[in-house]
Amino acid sequence: MAKRRMSEIVFRVEEDPVDGGYVARALGHGITTQAESIAELKKMIRDAVCCYFDKRVGQVALGAGFPPSRE
């Protein structure tokens, strides 16, 4: 049975002081995306990773250090 390989990409997420919303930048990869809400940002991160690696992405988990939602 083949093992499924798991990878992790860490994003630095910050509130955008100029335009509002959030900006996410991948550490070690050229991936950057932004959104108005945390829920939208999660979708945008998934889409950006899919485009960057040209493949389907599994789960996107938000870990410790993610900014608190203003929603």
Q: What whole-number distance in Å separates Cα of residue 30 and Cα of residue 70?
A: 27
Q: What is the pLDDT of residues 40-71, one digit of tens each?
A: 998 999 889 888 887 766 666 666 555 555 54
Closest CA to 47 of 36, 34, 66, 37: 34
- Among 8-12, 31-35, 40-44, the least confident range: 8-12
Residue 70's pLDDT is 53
- What are the helix and strand counts (H, E) for the chain? 1, 3
Tell me which of 18 and 57 has the higher pLDDT. 18
SS3 48: helix
pTM comes to 0.72
Tell me which of 32 and 59 has the higher pLDDT. 32
